[in-house]
Amino acid sequence: MYNIVEILTNELPALCLLEHVSWRKVSTLGIGAEIPVLAEPSDDLQLIKLLQICHKKDISVKIIGAGSNLVGPDTPFDGVIIRLLHNRFSKIVYGRHQHITVGAGIKLSELLRELAGKGFGGAAPLAAIPGTLGGALRMNAGANGVEIKDFVCEICGLTLDGLPWTADTAELTWKYRSVNIPQNVIITGAICKFPECESENEYLLINDEFNWRTKHFPSGRSTGCVFRNPAQDIPAGKLIDESACKKISSGGAVVSEQHANYLLNANNATERDYINLIIKVKQAVLDKTGISLETEVQFLNSKSQKEINSQPELPKIIVLKGGNSNEREVSIQSGNSVEKALVSAGYSVQSITITEMDEVKELINTIKSKNRTIIFPVLHGGYGEDGRLQKLFENQNILFVGNNSKSCELAMDKEQSKQIMEKQNLPTPKYAIIANPAEKSKLPTSDTPVKFTELPPFPVNLKLPVIVKPPEEGSTVGITLVRHELEWENALKNSFKYSEKALVEEFISGDEITVGIVGDKVLPVVEIQFPGPLFDYDAKYEHHHGETLYLCPPDKVSKIAQKKAQDAALAFAKAIEVRDLTRVDFMVDKENNVYILEANNMPGFTSSSLLPKSAAKAGISFPQLCGTLVQLAYARRT
């Protein structure tokens, strides 16, 4: 360290150098061994010379500002800590057309108060965020719908070897709590533009932010919020609280009882204490919610950051979508939604659109670590739900989300489902199975209508009206409501386009509802109000005849009927040995009787799908739902 001080003193005699500085003096958390050498350049020119010297002499450098989001290392840093906090780095220069040049070292609170006095505002929600403008730019700081990017025109900086760097805000990719400024760039300032405002009113808004923060956030030494919110409407603090993490500790570090996203240095905590506590919290949240939290706090020690990022261990996710059933397009929409949700939940995701099963076989051959890869097959209908795909995974010992092959077969084949319902004394409409009388070689397609040599008779155990549908399809593909005998033949033709059999089912007049199950949790009931006589494909996805309403909690269905349906759904799920998830559809008549229609192995995962809607009512966000399903599958690894 003496050599570094000597080198810098000789080559930059005007540079402010401090030795043996405590982290308690330069960071809000106050964790870390002392800083051997701290340099505080006065302006850009001095910083350029300092960086050039360090680059030439191979001296490591780290840049800090107010230290509000920083954890110091347990061992002294072998190099120079450069702090940009004073002199030219905290200056404000007012230009024309509301353009204001601001140094990266000025604290946000000081900046916004200064601007308010000059009649500029609009950023009051950011006032209580601790730290400097440079730190706020690096993470695209935001609060209450306002982000720092909203006010930035251009960012200025230097690379670590002292070369100038600039970027227009339009050249950068701004995301929630991140921006793609290169890691080797030191932000030195920005050109900003703030709208004009009434100074007195802006001061009031700024003071309100500070008062609110004082009331809702803990005092004591901290970095502020440690974890990034998985999404803007999913607070990390709420997930931590729900995972029973408040007040847990590691050494001198403890989770705040007042705000769970604050990890406090309560009693001379070390970096190791802080790392261990972060990992504890991440594991608890993952176990409870299926979401892997990402930190927004920064560690000066890059190895510490890598350790935290690698724990807990997460599987790689492969989302399969598409297929060759009549629900292919819906599957693609569902798959896209699942991919986005899992990325929000902290997973590494690969999304693949397939058509035939052979493509899945080829994919399996490329999977190197079977215990570290989870297949999330968001395939509706056909081989995606009837057990064939699941059997393929089972034969290759591949982990996957959803029910096993036998359970899928039983749920998808409505004839077998009906038999199990009868055996278990579960309520379901009366039914009959009609075989297609045409020869297999002459089975109809959508282009070649069938001609019956003899019309299959109407089932003697049923009476009109009835529902006719193929017993092995989903999303109401091929379904017809038959009210009169003249409609019987066309209904059979429609069903036989998709299957060699037709399921004929007593029509239950009443309200349609559905019950979702995730793991062993029965979700709230969703009532389905559709514009026509049937909840058919159009009512589900296309809405040509009007919008379908999905009500959770239900509007018309009594709580008694809801409880009956939830109990029956769970009983049927257990009877066919469902795991991970299912959704069971019901009809409810005027006397509060419930009738099971069918179970869905892989319900829809689009924005309007019923299982996610029901889960949301139960307090389970979509990323949490998808992450939970991944963790259920991952728990089956050997």
Strand order in the sheet with 80-83: 16-21, 35-40, 80-83, 61-64
- Residue 40 falls in the annotated catalytic set: no
Position of tokens 């009906």?
Answer: 418
Query: Fold match between 2-83 and 217-309?
Result: no
Please confirm, yes or no, whether 506 is among the known catalytic residues. Answer: no
Give the total residue count for the chain.
Answer: 638
Instruction: State how far the Cα of 311 lies from the Cα of 329, in Å rounded to an integer.
Output: 36
Calculate the dihedral angle through the C-alpha atoms of 343, 347, 353, 358, rounding to the nearest 10 degrees. Answer: -170
Please tell me the distance from the alpha carbon of residue 529 to that of residue 125, in angstroms, as a whole number.
41
Bridge partner list, 595: 587
Query: CB within 8 A of 362, min separation 6: which ones?
Result: none
Contact at 8 Å (CB) between 288 and 278? no
475 part of the active site: yes
Both structure tokens of 171 = 């050249």
Report the distance separating Cα 601 and Cα 408, nearest Å: 6
Q: Residue 451: which pLDDT band, with cuts at 50, 70 and 90? A: low
Determine the residue type at 15: L
Of 322, 346, 384, 604, catalytic: 604
Q: How far is Cα 628 from Cα 342, in angstroms, rounded to an integer?
A: 10
Active-site position among 262, 541, 595, 634: 541
Q: What is the pLDDT of residue 452?
A: 54
Q: What is the pLDDT of residues 169-221, one digit of tens each?
A: 999 999 988 999 999 999 999 999 999 999 999 999 999 999 998 999 999 99
409: annotated active-site residue:
no
State both tokens at 389. Answer: 């795909």
Q: Give dist(CA 300, CA 63) in Å, integer.
A: 9
- Quote the tokens at residue 513: 């509802």
Residue with tokens 């099971």: 596
**160 vs 181: CA distance, rounded Å:** 13
Q: 88-211: which CATH topology?
A: 3.30.465
Q: How far apart are CA 637 and CA 371, in angstroms?
A: 6
Per the prediction, the chain carries an average pLDDT of 92
Quick check: is 585 catalytic?
A: yes
Three-class SS state of 424: coil
Q: What distance lies between CA 486 and its chain's CA centroid?
A: 51
Candidate list 304, 505, 585, 627, residue with the active-site label: 585
Query: Which member of 583, 595, 609, 627 is catalytic?
Result: 583
Specify the DSSP element, H or E, that contains 117. helix 108-117
**Residue 583 known to be catalytic:** yes
Of the ranges 68-82, 199-213, 540-554, 587-601, which one carries the lowest mean pLDDT score? 540-554
Determine the average pLDDT of the residues in 29-36: 96
CATH topology of domain 430-506: Dna Ligase; domain 1 (3.30.1490)
Mean pLDDT within 262-289? 98
CATH architecture of 510-634: 2-Layer Sandwich (3.30)
What is the rounded distance in angstroms from the CA atom of residue 122 to the CA atom of residue 116?
Answer: 9
pLDDT by residue (tens digit) across 345-396? 999 999 999 999 999 999 999 998 888 999 999 999 889 999 999 999 999 9
Topology annotation, domain 217-309: 3.90.78
List phi, psi (to 5°) of 340. -60, -40
Distance CA 386, CA 1 (A): 69
Q: Which of 598, 601, 621, 627 is catalytic?
A: 598
- The one catalytic residue in 256, 265, 334, 475 is 475
The catalytic position among 90, 495, 600, 614 is: 600
The phi, psi pair for 634, rounded to 5°, reads -65, -30
| Exposed/middle/buried for residue 14 (C-beta within 10 Å: 0-12, 13-18, 19+) | exposed
From the candidate CATH numbers 3.30.43.10, 3.90.226.10, 3.40.50.150, 3.20.20.140, the one assigned to the domain spanning 2-83: 3.30.43.10
Provide the 8-state DSSP code for 163. Answer: -
541 belongs to the catalytic site: yes
Sign of CA dihedral 246, 270, 215, 344: negative
User: Is residue 339 annotated as part of the catalytic site, yes or no?
Assistant: no
Using CA atoms, how far apart are residues 209 and 323, in angstroms rounded to an integer?
A: 52
Distance from C-alpha of 161 to C-alpha of 233, rounded to nearest angstrom: 40
Catalytic residue among 44, 209, 327, 386: 327
Q: What is the pLDDT of residue 441?
A: 41
CA distances to 64, 340, 447 from 262, rounded to whole Å, are 21, 27, 64
* Residue carrying structure tokens 């920005």: 190
Average pLDDT of span 414-434: 95
Query: How does DSSP classify residue 128?
Result: T
Q: What is the mean pLDDT of residues 461-490?
A: 86
Q: Domain residues of the chain, as ranges?
A: 2-83, 88-211, 217-309, 430-506, 510-634
Most confidently modeled of 85-99, 397-411, 491-505? 397-411
Report residue 117 as tokens: 């006095």
Nearest in space to 273 (alpha carbons), one of 467, 628, 32: 32
pLDDT tens track for 523-577: 999 999 877 766 666 666 666 777 788 899 999 999 999 999 999 999 999 999 9
Contact 321, 334 (CB under 8 A): yes
- Mean pLDDT, rounded, for 489-516: 92
pLDDT score of 59 more than 90: yes
Extract the tokens encoding 345.
């939940």
Q: How much is the pLDDT for 444? A: 46
Q: What is the Cα 163 distance to its own chain's centre?
A: 38
The rounded distance, in Å, linking the Cα atoms of 62 and 50 is 12
* pLDDT at position 126: 96
